[in-house]
Amino acid sequence: AEMPIFVRTFDFLSWLLPASNHFPRAHRHTFTARLLGAAFDLRERLERWGFRQQPCKPALR
């Protein structure tokens, strides 16, 4: 089962992408780039953390 933080982060990104199209035109490019970059960095770090938390399976021989 997926951890709730992964589901919530995905939901946030799914909301943020279309919402960023409605930011004021004068700031849309710079603000959107920084905000989306930070959001995707969060998602990536959570995924790396999640993979480290899983127990390692022994190699098949």
pLDDT score of 38: 94
As a whole number of angstroms, the distance between CA 47 and CA 21 comes to 26
Q: What is the pLDDT of residues 20-57, one digit of tens each?
A: 888 888 888 898 899 989 999 999 998 888 767 666 56
CA distance 6 to 27: 29
Question: How many structural domains comprise the chain?
Answer: 1
**pTM score, whole prediction:** 0.64
Sign of CA dihedral 9, 12, 17, 18: positive
Classify residue 26: in a domain, yes or no.
yes
CA distance 20 to 28: 7
Structure tokens at 57: 């399976």
Output the pLDDT for position 11.
Answer: 93
- Top pLDDT among 45 and 61 is at 45
pLDDT reported for residue 30: 92
Looking at the domain assignment, is residue 60 inside a domain?
A: no
Tell me if 1 is assigned to some domain: no
